[in-house]
Chain A
């Protein structure tokens, strides 16, 4: 299979997803908005960092791209093929996940070798010798010894388990890896090991990453472009350097202001947001950020901000030119 280099690795057009949540004893069912009209493309070999607060829809977006559930509306394609049209095996050869929690995402009763071999076996097209060879190669590549291959996940540290998850994701040599908070459960010293490993593998294998993290310093280090999500919408998307140096959306600015770099003497910044927190089942009219926006104007509560294009992305705010 040869692919035209100009095809985006991941492409979303007008993707929507809502969940219906049971309202409890007397309450009405609520509709939780997780993705609202999301469109973007990630070029091959790129790393899109996805940031935003808890519950804004990052993991939902990741699962949609992985084909783990279907969008209510819109199109999702990886390497030019609609995710919805692909069967599971074909999808697994193209795109693989690495999740946050290496503790719950690995079968506790399976040996490390068998966990890494699973995606190969599921293809039904590799003989045992080939499987063993590829598993050995992959374990070595992520820095695990053959002896560790015989262990159970519970006999490994958090960082080692995340290496197992990475080996399992890469053993089919996919083109795209969706990393959902891959280092959030790890200590900083181990986080650095895993980030370095992911960066090396990407360069070597020409992978494309969707990289979700709540740690903006990590995103700045790994991503080539960054999308900022707020209540289901991408409110700003820009190349990494531009976003970090000239953020335009007030929410992006608040996020960046809250990064506490290890520089003594600077104190804790005032991020300028009030105490109201967003409710994804009750999206405010107009600009959905207006109840918290420090620079909101009266019209922000009724007018919907249009997308204002920028080099490599865009911004959704009424006040930016």
Chain B
């Protein structure tokens, strides 16, 4: 059986000047959480939007393969894609207000999805909405259904978003930094909820984050992105135990871990900043910051395999 979501050599650009994603490949299997991690601007959101065909005006995508449950998404027209979105493939965003309409109650927005995609009756849709709100840990679902988004706290809105994404029983959930705007306690609650739902419903999840703590705790598989490319991909335990790409190694040293560092010792850091990647850029995007860089890094860099299922993009031997 083909994987739930297969992305091969995805490229995304905006106009002729920015090349935002440069040949990204990743696979999400049923029942797994695949984390896409990287620093701001590396192309995480653009990758998600390209998969959903929701790129902003002027954005274009190209891919060798983009398939969902074996169906070619590149061949679907807008109507076909609209039928999938919010239905078999659902997405939640960092800022819930981007997908909640301030003018309608939570209840009417949640039931609308189900009526549109599945032709459910209002009564059945309301029941399902109330069930799902309870399922995502909202204590008074009846009350919340009648409220407007601005009457809810950030944490409650994010729960509503998740419940709404689940209305039509999706197979794939793409979550773009779903907890970045939340307090740490609420973040832990929402992530725990997502992990539980993912397990109970057998969802495939593509979770986008910049936080390695989140990756370690929820991911089955990790892809590390830098300057528009996936530079390393491995099973979670493998990636943390034996990172191969110099960027992944550097990133792991930057994260302070309570009880692990001494205060009088500096944190590991990566000198310099992310370069601008113009179309036609060649070679390793990390070379200006990499302590191992040499002249060969300015040319095409090989993809190497460290172990089965553990690939990285660097000239250095495993």
Q: Write the residues of chain A forming the contact surface with B, with a CB cutoff of 8 angstroms.
A: 53-54, 157, 159-160, 187-193, 195-196, 199-200, 214-218, 220-222, 244, 254-271, 273-277
> Which residues in window 145-201 of B have CB below 8 A to A?
153-156, 159, 183-189, 191-192, 195
A80 to chain B minimum Cβ distance, whole angstroms, is 27
With a cutoff of 8 Å between Cβ atoms, the chain A residues found around residue B255 in the complex are 188, 217, 262
With a cutoff of 8 Å between Cβ atoms, the chain B residues found around residue A54 in the complex are 154, 183
Q: Known: A187-B210, A190-B273, A277-B156. Is A261-B258 also a contact (CB below 8 A)?
A: yes
Find out whether the CB atom of B213 lies under 8 angstroms from the CB atom of A275. no
Return the contact of B269 from the options A157, A196, A221, A222 (Cβ within 8 A): A196
* Of B80-88, B259-267, B298-306, the one touching chain A: B259-267
Return the contact of A189 from the options B139, B184, B254, B256 (Cβ within 8 A): B254
Question: What DSSP secondary structure best describes chain B's contact surface?
Answer: helix
B135 to chain A minimum Cβ distance, whole angstroms, is 12
Q: Mark B234-264, 1 if CB is under 8 A from A, else 0.
A: 0011001100000000111111111101010
CA distance A202 to B185 in the complex (A): 31
Return the contact of A261 from the options B137, B159, B210, B257 (Cβ within 8 A): B257
> Which residues in window 257-315 of B have CB below 8 A to A?
257-259, 261, 263, 266-271, 273-274
Which 5 pairs of residues, A with B, have the shortest CB-CB distance?
A260-B213, A192-B269, A258-B188, A187-B39, A189-B270
Q: Known: A217-B255, A268-B195, A277-B155. Is A261-B216 also a contact (CB below 8 A)?
A: yes
Find out whether the CB atom of A275 lies under 8 angstroms from the CB atom of B217. no
Does B121 sit at the interface, judged by CB under 8 A? no
CA distance A258 to B251 in the complex (A): 21
A17 to chain B minimum Cβ distance, whole angstroms, is 21
Does B74 sit at the interface, judged by CB under 8 A? no
With a cutoff of 8 Å between Cβ atoms, the chain A residues found around residue B240 in the complex are 262-264
Residue of chain B at shortest CB distance from A258: B188
A249 to chain B minimum Cβ distance, whole angstroms, is 13
> Which residues in window 32-55 of B have CB below 8 A to A?
39-40
Find out whether the CB atom of B213 lies under 8 angstroms from the CB atom of A270. no
Does B215 sit at the interface, judged by CB under 8 A? yes
Q: Known: A189-B250, A269-B192. Is A262-B257 also a contact (CB below 8 A)?
A: yes
CA distance A191 to B212 in the complex (A): 14
Does B138 sit at the interface, judged by CB under 8 A? yes
Find out whether the CB atom of A157 lies under 8 angstroms from the CB atom of B217. no
Residue of chain B at shortest CB distance from A185: B40
Find out whether the CB atom of A244 lies under 8 angstroms from the CB atom of B185. no
Q: Known: A189-B254, A244-B258, A265-B237. Is A258-B213 also a contact (CB below 8 A)?
A: no
With a cutoff of 8 Å between Cβ atoms, the chain B residues found around residue A265 in the complex are 216, 237
Does B214 sit at the interface, judged by CB under 8 A? yes
With a cutoff of 8 Å between Cβ atoms, the chain B residues found around residue A256 in the complex are 258
Find out whether the CB atom of B39 lies under 8 angstroms from the CB atom of A271. no
Return the contact of B185 from the options A159, A221, A271 (Cβ within 8 A): A271
CA distance A53 to B153 in the complex (A): 13
With a cutoff of 8 Å between Cβ atoms, the chain A residues found around residue B218 in the complex are 267-268
With a cutoff of 8 Å between Cβ atoms, the chain B residues found around residue A274 in the complex are 139
Return the contact of A188 from the options B153, B210, B217, B274 (Cβ within 8 A): B210
Q: Known: A189-B254, A196-B266, A275-B155. Is A260-B183 also a contact (CB below 8 A)?
A: no
A141 to chain B minimum Cβ distance, whole angstroms, is 16
CA distance A115 to B259 in the complex (A): 38
With a cutoff of 8 Å between Cβ atoms, the chain A residues found around residue B236 in the complex are 264
Does B211 sit at the interface, judged by CB under 8 A? yes
With a cutoff of 8 Å between Cβ atoms, the chain B residues found around residue A269 in the complex are 188, 192
B309 to chain A minimum Cβ distance, whole angstroms, is 15
